Amino acid sequence: MSSPLAQPAWKKLQAIYDDYGKSYSTRDAFAKDSSRFDTFSTTFENYDGSKILFDFSKNLIDESILSTLFELAKECNVEQLRDDMFAGKHINTTEDRAVYHVALRNRSLKAMYVDNVNVSPEVDSVLQHMKEFSELVRSGEWKGYTGKEITDIVNIGIGGSDLGPVMVTEALKPYAHPRLNVHFVSNVDGTHIAETLKKCDAETTLFLIASKTFTTAETCANANTAKNWFLQRAKEQSHIAKHFVALSTNASEVAKFGIDTKNMFGFENWVGGRYSVWSAIGLSVCLYIGYENFDQFLKGGEAVDNHFVNAPIEKNIPFIGGLLTIWYNNFHKAQTKLVAPFDQYLHRFPAYLQQLSMESNGKSVSKDSKFVNYETGIVMFGEPTTNAQHSFFQLVHQGTKLIPTDFILAAKSHNPIEGNLHQRMLASNFFAQAESLMLGKTKEEVEAEGTSASLTPHKMFSGNRPTTSILAQQITPATLGSLIAYYEHVTFVEGAIWGINSFDQWGVELGKSLAKVILKELDADKDVETHDASTKNLINQFKAWA
Ligand SMILES: *[C@@H]1O[C@H](CO)[C@@H](O)[C@H](O)[C@H]1NC(C)=O
Ligand SMILES: *[C@@H]1O[C@H](CO)[C@@H](O)[C@H](O)[C@H]1NC(C)=O
Ligand SMILES: *[C@@H]1O[C@H](CO)[C@@H](O)[C@H](O)[C@H]1NC(C)=O
């Protein structure tokens, strides 16, 4: 494959950027073109009839920029790569694997093939297993070792086995079973498990150990600590079966741990960690909100898949989202992207997207094993707003960096308290932030307020700071599924243009393997003599102080 820089559309985009793109003014564009909103916004209709409005019109684009971006997508064969993913082909090139998490939410129950094997029956049987198990726990039929119902679920996992379930259970809290609390332990820092166990009663706690191989160092350490805590109370080894289940494929290790392999929920090697919330890794979600809601979550994802596969590029929402990243990152030289949900339940959504985006596209080698000479993955960050307005929004409005931003709001709150006053205040900020980032405040406007000459520049806002506003009707399981799938495909389009493998993550390995060596050194009595001088002295000081 050739570098995106070699594509005719890339050169055209560079010419547009140099010509007028870099100083393109959305403020002027809105003033001139009364149909701008209609041209650059689009409404996604979900499978259940609910809608999500994507307003791209406050971005630094006109029709010719956007159509050249579409040309670029065509020249980079993004559609072909997409079709390959949906056909279960081995697009995870460095490891020669399929990337087929979309099969987990394909509820058509038709045959789906990976390496000539129909994976549909397996996908469905794991879902059926999740359904049965979650119904037993939720109904109270499933009892702990003293005959009590389960009240607390502790998911022990890390990375994709943690971020997805944490984010989704938080986002869908209004749908939770009233008897159930969920807890997540990921950090190997003993504080995380210790503080969590303080809140739990061994008689009524169910642990989910989430590790595909059952060998993940942090997860195994936390799982063993949980088991020891449990056994100190329950005494009998055989009680483990009532209180521990595994989200794993390693039957022998699971059995060794003491878990009944009947209570093991598997997933295939074509499910990457950061896409695994749709798989058995979503069991905590399914327990918490129930199978019906989990099914709607899957269907919301599937609906976006259908759109991504079938809509022409020009009307394809994830294509537009992904191509905007290219425009800002590679032409405007933006380094970051901000995702700001105006929704307290979505408070872990930015963290989730951080993994999705940065683990996928933080690469500097292309699929043909060459170091790239252009920018790839963006630094993704975010926080629930309006809190963020009182911290880093200063820089977004008046700093020297261009920070393309997504704002997310649901029209209907799950908590319309005080006559919905809170929701109206929240929404007013959603509209005001996007509008003010776009319009800014000119010298004349500041001066008209009678501001002194020396203060005037401080109160000016350059404006023209791009935002995409995503307005949903309500954060339901289906809407959340759609939003996640949207960002997955945005990430996909970005990586496809950059020509990198968005599906591996070699970058997490080096530090991990070095940590294993250092762990042994920490256990030894004597000072270390190896490493660079900085690392050596830090280790020895730690040993002296620990
Ligand atoms: C199961 O765990 C063992 C022991 O760590 C490991 O050697 C083996 O590769 C694992 N198998 C699978 C299927 O993950
Ligand atoms: C791609 O392959 C790598 C390396 O085996 C694996 O860790 C990763 O999970 C795979 N990604 C997907 C999306 O399947
Ligand atoms: C679901 O799978 C069926 C059968 O392979 C396929 O025809 C359909 O396009 C898939 N849907 C999506 C959204 O991938």
Q: Spell out the long-range contacts of 127-130 with Cβ–Cβ below 8 A and sequence spacing 24 or more.
A: 129/265, 130/265, 130/280, 130/282, 130/283, 130/286, 130/291, 130/294
**pLDDT values of the chain reduced to their tens digit, one per residue, 546 residues:** 679 999 999 999 999 999 999 999 999 999 999 999 999 999 999 999 999 999 999 999 999 999 999 999 999 999 999 999 999 999 998 889 999 999 999 999 899 999 999 999 999 999 999 999 999 999 999 999 999 999 999 999 999 999 999 999 999 999 999 999 999 999 999 999 999 999 999 999 999 999 989 999 999 999 999 999 999 999 999 999 999 999 999 999 999 999 999 999 998 889 999 999 999 999 999 999 999 999 999 999 999 999 999 999 999 999 999 999 999 999 999 999 999 999 999 999 999 999 999 999 999 999 999 999 999 999 999 999 888 888 999 999 999 999 999 999 999 999 999 999 999 999 999 999 999 999 999 999 999 999 999 999 999 999 999 999 999 999 999 999 999 999 999 999 999 999 999 999 999 889 888 999 999 999 998 999 999 999 999 999 999 999
Percentages helix, strand, coil for the chain (3-state, rounded to 5) are 55, 10, 30
Tokens (6 digits) for 65: 């920029």
For residue 213, how far is its CA from the centre of ligand 1 (angstroms)?
6
Q: What CATH number labels 4-76+311-498?
A: 3.40.50.10490
For residue 254, how far is its CA from the centre of ligand 1 (angstroms)?
10
pLDDT at residue number 1: 62
Catalytic residue list? 359, 390, 512
- Say yes or no: domain 103-292 is CATH 3.40.50.10490: yes
**Is the beta carbon of 255 within 6 A of some atom in ligand 1?**
no
For residue 201, how far is its CA from the centre of ligand 1 (angstroms)?
31
Burial of 183 (0-12, 13-18, 19+ CB in 10 A): buried
What's the half-sphere exposure (Cβ side, CA atoms, 13 Å) at 119? 25
| Calpha distance 217→517 (Å, rounded) | 13
Position in ligand 1 atom list of the atom nearest CA 212: 14
User: Using CA positions, which residue lies closest to atom 13 of ligand 3?
Assistant: 306
Three-state secondary structure call for residue 448: helix
For residue 109, how far is its CA from the centre of ligand 3 (angstroms)?
9
CA-closest candidate to residue 134, choices 25, 286, 345: 286
CA-closest candidate to residue 480, choices 192, 143, 175: 175
Tokens (6 digits) for 111: 């045959």
Residues, the chain, total?
A: 546
What's the half-sphere exposure (Cβ side, CA atoms, 13 Å) at 184? 24
CA-closest candidate to residue 404, choices 479, 460, 471, 320: 320
pTM over 0.85: yes
Cα distances (Å, whole numbers) of residue 434 to 9, 180, 367, 463, 541? 30, 38, 37, 10, 49
Q: At what angle do helices 509-523 and 533-545 cross, to 10 degrees?
A: 50
Ligand closest to 253 (CA) is 1
Ligand closest to 252 (CA) is 1
In sequence order, the β-bridge partners of residue 513 are: none
Contact 338, 471 (CB under 8 A): no
| Calpha distance 163→281 (Å, rounded) | 10
Three-state secondary structure call for residue 443: helix
User: Using CA positions, which residue lies closest to atom 3 of ligand 1?
Assistant: 253
**Is the beta carbon of 310 within 6 A of some atom in ligand 3?**
no
Contact 156, 210 (CB under 8 A): yes
For residue 249, how far is its CA from the centre of ligand 1 (angstroms)?
9
What's the half-sphere exposure (Cβ side, CA atoms, 13 Å) at 444? 0
205-210/244-247 β-pairing: parallel
φ and ψ at residue 248, rounded to 5 degrees: -165, 170
Could you give the angle at the alpha carbon of 329 between the alpha carbons of 325 and 333, nearest 5°?
150
Cα distances (Å, whole numbers) of residue 275 to 5, 315, 489? 30, 25, 11
| Calpha distance 453→446 (Å, rounded) | 10
| Calpha distance 159→512 (Å, rounded) | 13
User: Residues of 345-359 as b/e, b for ≥16 C-beta within 10 angstroms?
Assistant: bbbbbbbbbbbbbbb
Q: Side chain identity at 534, as an amino acid letter? A: S
Three-state secondary structure call for residue 527: coil
| Calpha distance 437→85 (Å, rounded) | 37
The sign of the torsion formed by the CA atoms of 211, 214, 220, 225 equals positive
Position in ligand 2 atom list of the atom nearest CA 273: 9
Cite the residue boundaries of each domain of the chain with CATH code 3.40.50.10490: 4-76+311-498, 103-292
**Is the beta carbon of 253 within 6 A of some atom in ligand 1?**
yes
Lining ligand 2 with CB less than 6 A are: 92, 95, 97, 99, 270, 272-273, 275, 503-505
